[in-house]
Structure 1
């Protein structure tokens, strides 16, 4: 019992109650966010769209997501985290109902693009709120739990979505809308606004590299931050292989959809069961070293597919790269939070989150060409990218830590300055 209590303390202890309500909102949101997974099937089967048109509409949803990430970051720093989350979730619920009832393909395309925008808006606000409310020494476990909730919710969504899609596409969209509304109610009921609005000294609002810049431009010209974003992009390209290129490789090896589903299910089960043990495993270790090891494991896992020709090899490789992704999640999120100046926290998150739609485009586009012309050697290239990212984390670690230390000193200086007398709203 004492060991169990110690494990629970190391995994989830010391986190504020407001975090757990936010965590519950993330879990409910992800468990119910399944309608858009079946958008292409809905368009072709229920609305008679061609495959080309369905692909265009799904692409519009993805393009809206890129816009929504940036918009969510700006609004979370201007309006506040809670206001942005409520606006995004309430709007999403309404759009989902509209999609469920719409029949004209042009209207469905417009609504899908708008859903893409509001679906992506909460991401930077969620992370910024976690950073605001959780003390620095406990953020790693908070981000670990966030990653766990996201994957647990996705696992539940995958199970529910198939059942609902078989029964009724109308039910698919309406249940999604209901889950989104439930998330909004949890946030409205129990999650406070965490954005601090203060009058800051000129030093506090000056960009980290010493010059005044608009908020998003500060993040987009911060070389140390962008180096970290680039390394995360490489990690995301590796992760996207499982849902884009690996199914094609497995088919070429004579393995069907059920085999692919088994590999994906194994990865999901490992995360759900094992992610809660990660904080104690990496506690006290250098974040750049943890990221180098985790990215190296992903490189080895995907590189092993060069010789894969049977399901057992794919399953074994899946274990390796999944362990790597599990180790990477907490320090990746923590570094992203540490590098952001407090007054631009959500904007930095929005730039960081752009790596995922970018990777979702690059991975299948270049990966498909690579697999077609290089065959199994494609996985050597993927593994090589992972090793480059691992080395990059080791090289980028020291200057990154110096930047974090400088930001902490600046924040401490601002916190000991004059008592705030009026609101301050950062530039767009």
Structure 2
């Protein structure tokens, strides 16, 4: 009964629009078939090498880099809803066409556009959650939304593992159709939540900060650099891990079942772990440091798994625990630290770390796997985990400079003159602090 009470408390108190977004996310992720199996498709079905597969997968990351910045900019300029719907439509069309062409160059181009569409919607989704949910509930909101992502992913990993025996075309078409349904739900059912721009000409206030000024926020960019290391590890599990396991003689069905543990563990533990973290009031430094340690340990131990399915499954469970801690805490932190009218841009720049990792991870992972073997690859992941953990601990224990202030979201407040809120996690640029004084009501 205590578990059900915890689940109920964690799932209540959100606005209706949040649940529409949650439902659209669930539908989309229940058929995320293509990317997890694309490396296997390229190497076993089309006969490309692991290095070539890594290059093709890297084009997804290149598209993601562009999509993160474009999506962040568009979500602040034209709105969250059209950005999300348009991006999902682009991803659906690209995925569908991909299933009908065996040409490697054409697949690489389509993977680029698929990555662009997938990543362009991410900053808008995150910014909309920040728009709709008060600061005190944001970690919980991101956790519940991430829960939907992994309910769908756990389902899709198992189904895709068996669909490939009926033909790879089915995973392309299934992914495309559900992505299209997601776009329709977003366009028809979601309200627009973008904060109204202040009339700067009449009010005498400064314009909201630009993307360039976000990049000049040195403390925030340090956080993004550490996030890049975390994402470099996680993308190995979705791109090179299936190739490595296939090389060790583990079947696609077994990989599907093992990787599905990632979603199953998150489904079972995401809400309880989030409630535990919130109840103990653990700081971001401890949560993010622990997440990096678990991720590094889980991927590092993969190098010792060999052909053991049980050991491989245990490794997935360990790094999944790190993912459970990292994902909602990091997204909520960015939301708290972003200027009200630049939430999309901040989320876009943060998403850029994941997008860059999606370029580098399969490229580096494929090269290391081909030339030095799996043990070297997973040992490298363990080292990255240690460095990221130390970086998070140091960063979040550094005081913000008092000369230019620190910005971020505090509790939602009515419009009116407010003092900037000091936040030790991120130091905003001087322009952002000035905007914070002039626009008020941040949250």
Q: Same-fold call, TM > 0.5?
A: yes
* Residues 184-208 of structure 1, C-alpha deviations (whole Å, 9 max, x = no match): 232233210000112156666464x
Work out whether residues 165 and 172 of structure 1, in 8 Å CA contact, stay in contact via their aligned partners in 2.
yes
Distance 1:243 1:58, change over 3 A: closer
Task: Answer with 168-177 or 334-343: which moved more.
Answer: 168-177
Q: Is 1:416 paired with 2:416?
A: yes
Distance 1:204 1:383, change over 3 A: farther
Q: Which residue number in structure 1 is paired with residue 223 of structure 2?
A: 228
Distance 1:85 1:368, change over 3 A: closer
Equivalent-residue separation in structure 2 for 1:299 and 1:96 (angstroms): 32
Structure 1 residue 308: deviation in Å?
4.6
Q: In the TM superposition, what are the counterparts of 1:345-356 in structure 2 within 5 Å? A: 345-356=343-354
Distance 1:233 1:404, change over 3 A: farther
Structure 1 residue 282: deviation in Å?
0.5
Structure 1 residue 90: deviation in Å?
3.2
Structure 1 residue 87: deviation in Å?
1.8
Match of 2:335 among 334, 337, 343: 337
Q: Which residue number in structure 1 is paired with residue 211 of structure 2?
A: 216
Equivalent-residue separation in structure 1 for 2:377 and 2:111 (angstroms): 34
Equivalent-residue separation in structure 1 for 2:305 and 2:378 (angstroms): 10
Q: Is 1:146 paired with 2:141?
A: no
Structure 1 residue 19: deviation in Å?
0.3
Q: Is 1:361 paired with 2:359?
A: yes
* Residues 13-37 of structure 1, C-alpha deviations (whole Å, 9 max, x = no match): 2111110110111111122333455
Q: Is 1:241 paired with 2:240?
A: no
Contiguous gaps of at least 5 residues in structure 1: 208-214, 419-423
Q: Is 1:279 paired with 2:274?
A: yes
Equivalent-residue separation in structure 1 for 2:100 and 2:299 (angstroms): 43
Work out whether residues 157 and 259 of structure 2, in 8 Å CA contact, stay in contact via their aligned partners in 1.
no
Distance 1:393 1:56, change over 3 A: closer
Work out whether residues 62 and 115 of structure 2, in 8 Å CA contact, stay in contact via their aligned partners in 1.
yes
Q: Which residue number in structure 2 is paired with residue 118 of structure 1?
A: 117
Equivalent-residue separation in structure 2 for 1:406 and 1:58 (angstroms): 37
Equivalent-residue separation in structure 2 for 1:53 and 1:384 (angstroms): 26
Q: Which residue number in structure 2 is paired with residue 266 of structure 1?
A: 261
Match of 2:324 among 316, 323, 326: 326
Structure 1 residue 253: deviation in Å?
6.8
Structure 1 residue 142: deviation in Å?
0.9
* Residues 50-79 of structure 1, C-alpha deviations (whole Å, 9 max, x = no match): 769877665544422321221111111100
Q: Which residue number in structure 2 is paired with residue 407 of structure 1?
A: 408
Structure 1 residue 85: deviation in Å?
1.3
* Residues 80-130 of structure 1, C-alpha deviations (whole Å, 9 max, x = no match): 001111222334444455556679887666544333322321111111101
Equivalent-residue separation in structure 2 for 1:386 and 1:90 (angstroms): 36
Work out whether residues 144 and 275 of structure 1, in 8 Å CA contact, stay in contact via their aligned partners in 2.
yes
Work out whether residues 224 and 400 of structure 1, in 8 Å CA contact, stay in contact via their aligned partners in 2.
no
Structure 1 residue 339: deviation in Å?
2.0
Q: In the TM superposition, what are the counterparts of 1:24-423 in structure 2 within 5 Å? A: 24-35=23-34, 58-96=57-95, 110-167=109-166, 171-199=170-198, 200=200, 205=207, 207=209, 215-244=210-239, 246=241, 260-283=255-278, 284-305=281-302, 308=305, 311=308, 312-367=310-365, 372-373=371-372, 376=375, 379-399=378-398, 406-408=407-409, 415-416=415-416
Work out whether residues 204 and 410 of structure 1, in 8 Å CA contact, stay in contact via their aligned partners in 2.
no
Distance 1:196 1:401, change over 3 A: same
Q: Which residue number in structure 2 is paired with residue 211 of structure 1?
A: none
Write 1 or 2 for the structure with the bigger share of helix.
1
Q: Which residue number in structure 2 is paired with residue 421 of structure 1?
A: none
Distance 1:370 1:94, change over 3 A: closer
Which secondary structure does the structure 2 equivalent of 1:121 belong to?
Answer: helix
| Count, aligned residues | 409
Work out whether residues 232 and 360 of structure 2, in 8 Å CA contact, stay in contact via their aligned partners in 1.
yes
Work out whether residues 339 and 404 of structure 1, in 8 Å CA contact, stay in contact via their aligned partners in 2.
no
Work out whether residues 339 and 407 of structure 2, in 8 Å CA contact, stay in contact via their aligned partners in 1.
no
| Alignment TM-score, normalising by the size of structure 2 | 0.78
Structure 1 residue 38: deviation in Å?
5.4
